[in-house]
Structure 1
Amino acid sequence: MGQLALFGVDLVAIAVLTFGIYFPRHRRRDLAAAYLGLNVGVLAVSGVLAQSAIGAGLGLGLFGVLSIIRLRSSEIAQHEVAYYFSALAIGLLGGLGGLGGLPAWMAPTFIAVIVVTMFVGDHPRLLGRYRSQTVVLDTAITDESRLVAHLEALLGARVRALTVQKVDLVNDTTVVEVRYELPVGTTAQAGSGATSAFAGVR
């Protein structure tokens, strides 16, 4: 497959990933723009590198450098990190997929696999009843069984795991990270794995 054709496949794939999968589910305009910019930027750089004899090596180095970049302007959830790496990988496949005499089908196939994987892996119906939250209770609870019972009554769900982060006996508060499962029939919502704060009731 020619380089221009691969560029076209990349642009279609990132458009589907961003506007067909990510944005309808999570509605973060800033990250949608970030994924587009990242993908097209990597595509442009890797496309130029592909014209040199050391393009593949530089492309792998570029992937390594970009892989350690963290977006510090705002907190992003783990599923958004997955979209970040998907946009990065698609850009590199689009820019470097024609190197080394690789079969014409290989890069487009892997691009399609990435998009399909994100569609399925981030689908609201996949484990949609499971949640994770950082809960702040306005009571200090040191007994784990009592804490589990309190959280289940508070959340209306079954607690699957918890980690007590802080018990303040002076101010009478408990901070706990809890993973729980909502009852059968609960409507799944996109982005349900995000961490949030929650004020408990005595």
Structure 2
Amino acid sequence: MFRFVLNFIFLTIVIRFIYYPDSKRKDYVFTYYLISLIVFFLCFTLKKYEMDIGMALGLFAIFGIIRYRTNPVDIKEMTYLFVVIGISIINSLANKKMSYAEILSANALIIFVLVLIEKYWALKQVVSKSIVYENIENIKPENHDILKSDLEKRTGLIINKITIGDVDFLKDTAKVTIFYFNNNS
């Protein structure tokens, strides 16, 4: 029970105080808590039995199938998923040879590195949006500055890069993808 409470405390620090304030994604908060809970108890239960390498590979295969059968998830959300799974595995599989101080230190170190990278080393995140653009004259290479200026005025974003995708000359539209830093919005 102590390890479960310890696991829950450290997961709450990661999920509610590091991940959620920046992302505001409540659906992932729910997912992270439940996945970590299941992983913790799954590993804790399986630790009681002899588990060979085939069983371990089978578990990873199941998680891999689940990953490829779902909607694409951003890399940052996948990284946090890996972190909460890792914390749960560490806390559930710790044995009598590992002291509580070592478990606490491992969890604290993970959180320290996560905070350091997330809050202080965080690079600007580039975000993209696809837009159906109707002023087809501006997609010409010589009108790039006009296109950028028009899109910045309409979206209110500072655009770094623009790519032009499908062009429909019958409807006079083009699919344009804009790239901008996340903190500009």
Give me the TM-score of the superposition, normalised by structure 1.
0.67
Once the two structures are superposed, the pairs formed by residues 105-124 of structure 1 within 5 Å of their partners are 108-123=104-119
Offset, 1:120? 3.9
Kept in 2, the 8 Å contact 1:6–1:108? The answer is: no
1:177 matched residue in structure 2: 177
Alignment: residue pair count: 180
Offset, 1:169? 1.8
1:15 matched residue in structure 2: 12
Q: Deviations over 1:153-181 (max 9, x none)?
A: 5225352x444332222222222333235
Kept in 2, the 8 Å contact 1:134–1:175? The answer is: yes
Q: Which has the higher helix share?
A: 2
2:131 matched residue in structure 1: 135
SS where residue 88 of structure 1 aligns? helix
Larger Rg: 2
1:157 matched residue in structure 2: 158
Kept in 1, the 8 Å contact 2:7–2:91? The answer is: yes
* C-alpha RMSD of matched pairs (Å): 3.6
Kept in 2, the 8 Å contact 1:130–1:181? The answer is: yes
What stretches of structure 1 of length at least 5 have no aligned partner? 183-187, 193-202
Identical amino acids, percent of aligned pairs: 21
1:79 matched residue in structure 2: 76
Kept in 2, the 8 Å contact 1:134–1:176? The answer is: yes
CA distance in 2: counterparts of 1:43 and 1:102, whole angstroms: 17
CA distance in 2: counterparts of 1:152 and 1:109, whole angstroms: 51
| Structure 1 residue 62 corresponds to structure 2 residue 63 | no
